């Protein structure tokens, strides 16, 4: 699905259109529609941990988010080998409004969300005996 970028991903301010493709329930791929790069691997944070955010009013207005908006919240993941060493940016989620096909990255107030890091290692959130998330019963 194609989205108009209303609040850019940090460091990629010139990108105006991106596509979101589902890989599976945990992972998605976000691609620049105007050039071959960049592309991002996104992860569903609700499948990894308890995750709650409070978006600033200005961000809500920018994406025209309402109480009943069809919203998806994902986090950028940096893939490492082995996969367990990959990192997730929980402090700056990417928010998608499916109703008007807009998206943006919001940076949360780290003083309000001290448990959310910029590069949290994913192995802290998956069980040691499998590659399945520890908190797989909760969805967005």
State how beta strands 102-105 and 2-7 pair: parallel
- Domains of the chain with bracketed CATH: 2-124 (2.30.290.10)
Q: What is the pTM of this model?
A: 0.87
- Alpha-carbon torsion 79, 85, 90, 96, what sign? positive
Q: In whole angstroms, give the CA distance from residue 11 to residue 105.
A: 11
Q: In whole angstroms, give the CA distance from residue 12 to residue 18.
A: 11
Instruction: Identify the DSSP state of 45.
Output: G
Instruction: Identify the DSSP state of 58.
Output: H
Q: List the pLDDT tens digit at each of the 140 positions of the chain.
A: 999 999 999 999 999 999 999 999 999 999 999 998 899 999 999 999 999 999 999 999 999 999 999 999 999 999 999 988 999 999 999 999 999 999 999 999 999 999 999 999 999 988 655 445 555 444 43
Angular region, 64: left φ>0, alpha ψ -120 to 50, beta rest: left
């Amino acid at each position: 699905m194609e989205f108009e970028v209303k609040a850019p991903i940090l460091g990629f301010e010139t990108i105006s259109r991106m596509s979101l493709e589902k890989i599976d329930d945990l992972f998605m791929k976000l691609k620049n529609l105007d050039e071959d790069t960049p592309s991002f691997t996104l992860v569903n944070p609700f499948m990894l941990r308890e995750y709650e955010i409070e978006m600033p009013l200005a961000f809500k207005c920018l994406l025209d988010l309402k109480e009943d908006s069809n919203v998806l919240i994902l986090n950028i993941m940096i893939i490492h080998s082995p996969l367990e060493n990959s990192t997730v940016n929980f402090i700056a989620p990417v928010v998608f409004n499916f109703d008007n096909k807009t998206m943006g990255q919001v940076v949360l107030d780290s003083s309000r969300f001290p448990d959310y890091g910029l590069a949290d290692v994913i192995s802290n959130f998956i069980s040691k005996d499998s590659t399945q998330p520890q908190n797989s019963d909760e969805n967005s």
